[in-house]
């Protein structure tokens, strides 16, 4: 299990590489919402929180391991995080991506100097290909979420929230493979046990909620999770290491509909500083539309995990009418 000291060490390691994102009070006249602050990880150099864990992992490798090069498997944001971190540390990076990854994420990853290998849409297929290439070429695998150094890096978000808003009562985080919420929940609960940590995921890819309810990891079929627009949350199951942290530290996981995600993206786009991709907007959607399932708290933080949204998609959302719950 990741400790508070692990997360503090990660915070020191990523200093000067990852941006210390500020808390922004959510203020939109249409929403009628009060008491919600946003943690805008869309402001990171790669447009998403993934840089934190990726840099912490690669910077922790021995010199010999760095010389071997690193490989990962990702639909986009972790790919960019690994490519950016590897370039900063002078390490070769190879990324296995699905052919249906958004063009904005494919192009950004290539621009960071990574070698890209394309496979089919299944997250299991991506992982198998990465493991095969690592075996062939000796690359070190940098997992997208099922790794303690990755979890510790993402946990730095939780430390920053507590530093900026010590009185925080509830923190909402998106859930895909479980890396972010594992780290954030560990940081929050070991520092302030009274605070609530709530995961939010699309109802079309609700494997983490199913796992928490069942007390064991539940895997969803690839064709099922592909239905959500939140491409960064299309993982078929959470990682075993992540599940242990979620089971110990996360209070609950709620789900949001595609219409709710779309409306959250539209509302967040009113402020350029809070621009979110669908995956990045799910925690906000959870707060906006599922208050009755959340703790009755007055000081809340929702994490915007990323802002790498296709311009055409954003324009389509902006033209849409306001969602009515």
pLDDT per residue as tens digits for the range 284-298: 999 999 999 999 999
Same domain, 43 and 182: yes
Tell me, what's the pLDDT at 152? Answer: 98
Q: Are strands 36-40 and 24-25 parallel, antiparallel or unpaired?
A: antiparallel
Same domain, 42 and 55: no
HEC sequence for 14-57: HECCECCCCCEECCCCCCCCCCEEEEEHHHCCCCECHHHHHHHH
* 64-68, 71-75, 162-166, 274-278: range with lowest mean pLDDT: 71-75
- Exposed, middle or buried: residue 222 (CB in 10 Å: 0-12, 13-18, 19+)? middle
| CB distance 287 to 34 below 8 Å | no
| CB distance 55 to 13 below 8 Å | yes
Same domain, 279 and 299: yes
Tell me, what's the pLDDT at 322? Answer: 47
Say how many domains are in the chain: 2
- Exposed, middle or buried: residue 303 (CB in 10 Å: 0-12, 13-18, 19+)? buried
| CB distance 179 to 144 below 8 Å | yes
Residue 321 has pLDDT above 60, yes or no: no
Same domain, 165 and 211: yes
CATH classification at residue 131: 3.40.50.1100
Same domain, 117 and 161: no
What are the tokens at 272?
A: 């350029």
pLDDT class for 2, splitting at 50, 70, 90? very high
Q: Is 11 a member of any domain?
A: yes
Last residue of a domain, one of 95, 112, 141: 141
> How far is it, in rounded angstroms, from Cα 14 to Cα 51?
9
Q: Is 30 a member of any domain?
A: yes
Tell me, what's the pLDDT at 320? Answer: 73
Q: Is 224 a member of any domain?
A: yes
Helix extents (H) in the chain: 4-14, 50-60, 63-68, 77-89, 103-111, 123-137, 148-164, 179-191, 207-214, 222-225, 240-249, 258-268, 278-289, 311-319
Tell me, what's the pLDDT at 324? Answer: 38
pLDDT class for 34, splitting at 50, 70, 90? confident
pLDDT class for 222, splitting at 50, 70, 90? confident
Q: For the whole model, what pTM was predicted?
A: 0.94
Last residue of a domain, one of 75, 109, 141: 141
> How far is it, in rounded angstroms, from Cα 306 to Cα 107?
16
Q: Is 324 a member of any domain?
A: no
Same domain, 10 and 156: yes
Q: What is the mean pLDDT of residues 201-220?
A: 97
Q: What is the mean pLDDT of residues 257-261?
A: 97
Q: Is 325 a member of any domain?
A: no
Same domain, 113 and 130: yes
> How far is it, in rounded angstroms, from Cα 269 to Cα 40?
12
End-to-end Cα spacing for the chain: 39
Q: Is 74 a member of any domain?
A: yes
Same domain, 27 and 133: no
Q: Is 76 a member of any domain?
A: yes
Same domain, 216 and 284: yes
Host domain of residue 255: 4-48+147-319
Last residue of a domain, one of 85, 113, 141: 141
């Amino acid at each position: 299990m990741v400790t508070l000291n692990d997360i503090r060490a990660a915070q020191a390691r990523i200093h000067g590489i990852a941006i210390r994102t500020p808390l922004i009070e959510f203020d939109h006249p249409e929403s009628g919402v009060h008491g919600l602050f946003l943690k805008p990880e869309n402001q990171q150099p790669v447009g998403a929180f993934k840089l934190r864990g990726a840099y912490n992992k690669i910077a922790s490798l021995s010199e010999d391991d760095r010389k071997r090069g690193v490989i990962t498997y990702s639909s986009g944001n972790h790919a960019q995080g690994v490519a950016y971190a590897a370039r900063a540390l002078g390490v070769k990076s190879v990324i296995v991506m699905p052919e249906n990854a958004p063009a904005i994420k494919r192009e950004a990853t290539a621009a960071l100097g990574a070698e890209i290998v394309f496979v089919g849409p299944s997250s299991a297929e991506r992982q198998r290909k990465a493991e095969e290439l690592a075996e062939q070429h000796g690359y070190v695998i940098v997992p997208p979420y099922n790794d303690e150094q990755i979890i510790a890096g993402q946990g730095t978000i939780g430390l920053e929230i507590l530093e900026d808003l010590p009185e925080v009562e509830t923190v909402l985080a998106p859930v895909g493979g479980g890396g972010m919420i594992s780290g954030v929940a560990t940081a929050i609960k070991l520092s302030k046990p009274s605070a609530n940590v709530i995961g939010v995921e699309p109802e079309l890819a609700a494997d983490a909620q199913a796992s928490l309810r069942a007390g064991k990891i539940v895997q969803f079929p690839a064709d099922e999770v592909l239905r959500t627009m939140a491409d960064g949350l299309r993982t078929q199951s959470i990682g075993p290491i992540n599940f242990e942290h979620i089971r110990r530290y996360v209070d609950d996981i709620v789900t949001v509909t595609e219409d709710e995600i779309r409306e959250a993206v539209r509302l967040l786009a009113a402020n350029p500083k809070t621009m979110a991709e669908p995956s990045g907007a799910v925690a906000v959607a959870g707060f906006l539309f599922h208050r009755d399932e959340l703790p009755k708290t007055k000081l809340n933080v929702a994490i915007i995990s990323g802002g790498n949204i296709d311009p055409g998609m954003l324009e389509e959302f902006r033209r849409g009418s306001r969602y009515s719950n």
